Amino acid sequence: MIKAIVGANWGDEGKGKITDVEAAQSDIVIRFQGGSNAGHTIINNYGKFALHQLPSGVFYSHITNIIGNGVALSVENFIKELKALEERGVPKPNIVISDRAQLVMPYHIQLDTFEEARLSSHSFGSTKSGIAPFYSDKFAKIGFQISELYDDEDALKEKIDRVITLKNVLYEHLYHQPKLTVDEVYSQLMEYRKLLEPYVADTFSILHKAVQDGKNILLEGQLGALKDPDFGIYPMVTSSSTLAGYGAIGAGLPPYGIKEIIAVVKAYSSAVGAGEFVSEIFGAEADELRRRGGDGGEFGATTGRPRRMGWLDLVASRYGCQVQGSTCVALTVLDVLGYLDEIPVCVAYELNGKRIDSFPPTVQLKHCKPVIETLPGWKCDIRGIRKYEDLPENTRRYIEFAEKTIGIPIKIVSNGPAREDIIYR
């Protein structure tokens, strides 16, 4: 069976932990999109980890971890993360990289950085990981697929020459930087070839056989539905589809095989980077939630930037679950809210004086204001509770209120950062 774990919000919902927990019953875990521009935080017996390129199944010896063809692969970060696992005593994981995956080149990161600087106050809040230039090149058909590293030298250098002719127009005339050369790019690609050789394989065939054999396959999404380039807060979105449906493409799996889609929803809201955020809060109220949030404060796992904070947005969460096609919801970081006497929740939007329950496109979203209802808090620490019926009444009331409004059953509740802080309903 194929199961997908994806975000319903802006990212940072806690997908890493849910993947880590669900991986125990899986044979294969696959990253199918995105790159090293976002991190999945995992806490287990080995310690606390922020994974950027590696699938979240790397802590289990029985799992085959696959980096799919839809991923923007940063070789440097991949190798760095592997070494970090080894240095902290994690057994060497079984990792396979699709020979159809494409490479994040140093010039992608440079161009990302140059453009954010050029845009200044109008920037997209990029992590400067090269993601937008990478995907631009992929769809302009001038990216480098891993399989191309094994082509003959003349053919590869001919393509490099075509590519850098385009890049150097930007380097020289827009950003006023030294031009790229064929030799330096070729040398970089040969270094990547050497580093990747132990991991590269035909993952399409591996997965095709796994489906035939009835293996349990877990798709791990990056970021959330509201950062999807089609259905998110465009243009302040990422550059790959964050939706479960793309898992079939980014991994190379039959779409009819995805039987379960777990949409991860945060019990409050947070976001990194620019973009519309209707339930956002500010000042001391935001600072307090940020300080208490997550597993050590709400700061980006990749950038370290303070996350923007807000109350649970049930309009956005319902929409996110719908576009993900979720079959159930995992509600995370519920324990964080235990300090509040009352908990505000965004239940609708006000747009031009009218109440709406739908999530509109950005041009309308920027005019929306939150409609807030307040629920009673539970004023205690709920970590360590393993049974749903043992939760305080007001905690259960909060969960059930969210469930009714979202319209999708909440089957998993995370009430702490550790692997064992999980409740199944």
pLDDT mean across residues, the chain = 93
Q: How is residue 210 written in tokens?
A: 């796994």
Name 268's Cβ contacts closer than 8 Å, sequence gap at least 6.
Answer: 289, 293, 309, 310, 311, 312, 333, 336, 337
Mean pLDDT value of segment 375-402: 97
12 labelled catalytic: yes
Q: How is residue 96 written in tokens?
A: 């396979």
pLDDT at 273: 80
The residue annotated as part of the active site, out of 12, 99, 137, 335, is: 12
Whether the CB-CB separation of 69 and 143 falls below 8 Å is answered with no
Mean pLDDT value of segment 181-190: 97
Bond into 235 cis (ω within 30): yes
Question: In 3D, which of 411, 378, 403 has the Cα closest to residue 392?
Answer: 378
pLDDT in tens, 317-332: 999 999 999 999 999 9
Higher pLDDT, 301 or 386: 386
Helical (H) or strand (E) element with 116? helix 106-119
Question: In 3D, which of 370, 361, 364, 368 has the Cα closest to residue 233?
Answer: 361
Question: In 3D, which of 37, 59, 38 has the Cα closest to residue 48?
Answer: 59
Q: How is residue 207 written in tokens?
A: 């997965």
pLDDT in tens, 63-110: 999 999 999 999 999 999 999 999 999 999 999 999 999 999 999 999
When pLDDT is cut at 50, 70 and 90, the band that residue 40 belongs to is confident
Neighbours of 299 (CB within 10 A): 17
Whether the CB-CB separation of 412 and 328 falls below 8 Å is answered with yes
Question: In 3D, which of 235, 239, 255, 259 has the Cα closest to residue 247?
Answer: 255
Which DSSP state fits 392? -
Helix (H, G, I), strand (E, B) or coil at 133: helix
pLDDT in tens, 279-331: 999 999 999 999 998 777 888 666 677 899 999 999 999 999 999 999 999 99
The residue annotated as part of the active site, out of 40, 99, 112, 335, is: 40
pLDDT in tens, 99-154: 999 999 999 999 988 888 887 766 666 677 889 999 999 999 999 999 999 999 99
Cα 379 to its chain centre, rounded Å, is 31
Residue 393's Cβ-side half-sphere holds a number of Cα atoms within 13 Å equal to: 1
122 labelled catalytic: no
Q: Is the pTM of this model over 0.75?
A: yes
What's the CA gap between 232 and 273, in Å, rounded? 13
What's the CA gap between 425 and 403, in Å, rounded? 12
